[in-house]
Structure 1
Amino acid sequence: MALEVIDSVIAIPGGSIFVRRWNRNSSEHLPIVLLHDSLGSVEMWREFPATLATETARTVIAYDRIGFGKSSLRTYPASSRFIDEEAQIYFPAVSKAMGLGRYILFGHSVGGGMSLAIAAHQTDKCAAVITESAQAFVEERTLSGIRAAKQHFEDGAQFSRLSKWHGERARWVLEAWTEVWLSPEFREWTLDTYLSRIHCPVLAIHGDTDEFGSSAFPRRITEGVCGPGRMEIISPCGHVPHREKEREVLELAKGFLAEFHVP
């Protein structure tokens, strides 16, 4: 089947959002919406969305959160409630502007946490959630990884690589991640308040050498949801399974959607 790639910009409260669709025009299946990680963007998904659309015969949609990629600049500091804000304010506005009915969410890293928060708020619309490398609470391993990354980006050459994807937004993007996660007020954050409200099937994928969190994260997720939950640990694999082990991620996603008869 033909795969059509469509870029658009939509207006939502607080600015404009860049959206890319890998469109399966003939597909009758629910679309998959991708939510990127803390330093991510639509472009940083690279070839994965197109492959996911082809393999699952579904339309795949990705968007840059406000302040990221090609979406509106943000000049004020990120809030420690940014996951709640995405679930309660921004994603509902994005999905309404795109005319989405029901959908499947696929989130990487903090995008996985956002996917679960959205599923808890949009119980009638979210048919399934796939997370990879999602944080469920704040581990010391998480903080150590972020401190190392912060130091890494002090090198001008490394920071320029981030600027490649975010342009003048790069400094804000970096600090929105490091300063919020390392702040004392964020130390007690967890997904627990959301998990008990999620009844749709959830697949939690995690790499065994993920530098930002242990297998305690997917275990907390799958044991905490009220619907079916499956944990899959990929080995050897770090924080970006869809890039490091793309074939395994694709097969896990396809098998999961088929097993639970997600339309």
Structure 2
Amino acid sequence: MSSPVSIREHWIDTGKGPLFAQDWTPTDASDVPIVLLHDSLGCVALWRDFPEHLACTTGRPVIAYDRLGFGRSGRYPGALPLDFIDDEARESFPALQRHFGFEQCVVFGHSVGGAMAVACVARHPQACAALVTESAQAFVEHQTRDGIRAAEQEFAREGQLERLQKYHGDKAFWVLRAWVDTWLSNDFSDWNLDAELARVKCPILSLHGEQDEYGSMAHPERFTSVPDVPTVLKSLPGCGHVPHREQQAVVLEAVVDFLRRFAG
């Protein structure tokens, strides 16, 4: 890593409960920050060392937060609503922007966090300089549901829920059911990002593993078919659902090149 990074923790008040956030800021940081949005079972801690490496290689501050109900953030008040993706853009993104005081940012989302990143860009176009999706879903497909069913069976095995409890504490069962029950719901089966993608006006980088167990290459192809904006599709051979862990160097190189070309 090229330069020292300071790491700070934050608590952000919302109308529903407190959000936990963390930032990684290089000593010589310049340009707009990168905001990370985690996946359906994720949290700040599960990004592991990726945010620090991302901050060092891009020279930009990196911000990550636990969605309400996840990680160190407060409990979610009730069941997760079917419009939870747009909810994140409508409520949490403005709270982050107010707390950290950025006028613009690069939004980077993994898995369902990528869908949330699209929603943020669509709803807050002036605040979003660029969009990065990683292993994100643009619609509900059979492969996604099949992968979730397989994961549900795996978590039903003795001792497997403890893997989530390590990061989400006594919220772990809620986290698991929020993921499984939402995506397997008949009421969610027609969900897609078509309307949001039609409103995206900033450059898009879409990263996707060719062996992703939760989504086919149809998703990054949809993300990079947005007209009249620069788009880059980066397919990753031999990679599954978590490229920033499985092929971190490749992901970092792709992000740096993309930002240098389109958001410098």
Tell me the TM-score normalised to structure 2 length: 0.97
Q: Which secondary structure does the structure 1 equivalent of 2:211 belong to? A: coil
Aligned to 1:56: 58
> How is 1:83-232 mapped onto 2 (pairs within 5 angstroms)?
83-224=85-226, 226-232=228-234
Residue of structure 2 in register with 1:253 after alignment: 255
Partner deviation per Cα, 1:194-245 (whole Å, 9 max, x = no partner): 0111110000000001000000000011103541111111011000000000
Spell out, residue by residue over 1:19-68, the C-alpha distance to the aligned partner (whole angstroms, 9 max, x if none).
10001243221110100000000000000000010111111010000000
Q: Which amino acid aligns with 2:58?
A: T
> In the alignment, which residue of structure 2 is the partner of 1:73?
75
Alignment-mate amino acid for residue 182 of structure 1: L
User: Residue 20 of structure 2: SS of its match in structure 1?
Assistant: strand
- 8 Å CA contact 1:209–1:239 kept in 2: the answer is yes
Residues 106-115 or 73-82, more deviating: 73-82
Contact 2:206–2:234 (Cα < 8 Å) also in 1: yes
What's the TM-score once normalised by structure 1's chain length? 0.97
Amino acid in structure 1 at the alignment position of 2:96:
V
Secondary structure of 2:76's aligned partner = coil
Aligned AA for 1:146? I
Hey, which bits of structure 1, 4+ residues long, moved more than 3 A?
A: none
2:101 aligned partner, one-letter code? G
Amino acid at match of 2:68: I
Report the 3-state secondary structure (helix = DSSP H, G, I; strand = E; otherwise coil) of the residue aligned with 1:84: helix
Whole-Å separation in 2 of the counterparts to 1:259 and 1:75: 42
Identity among equivalent pairs (%):
46
- Structure 2, gaps ≥5 residues long: none
Query: Over aligned residue pairs, what C-alpha RMSD do you find?
Result: 1.0
Q: How many residues align?
A: 262
Whether the 8 Å contact between 1:20 and 1:42 is mirrored in structure 2 is yes
CA distance in 2, matches of 1:175, 1:227: 37
Per-residue displacement from partner, 1:152-197 (whole Å, max 9, x unpaired)? 1111311101110100110111111100000001000001010111
Q: Supply the AA of the counterpart residue of 2:59.
A: A
SS in 1 for 2:133: strand
Q: Which 5+ residue runs of structure 1 have no aligned equivalent?
A: none
Partners of 2:118 and 2:36 lie apart in 1 by 12
Looking at structure 1, the residues matched to 55 and 43 of structure 2 have their Cα atoms a distance apart, in angstroms, of 18
CA distance in 1, matches of 2:5, 2:188: 41
- Distance of 1:95 and 1:175 partners within structure 2: 29
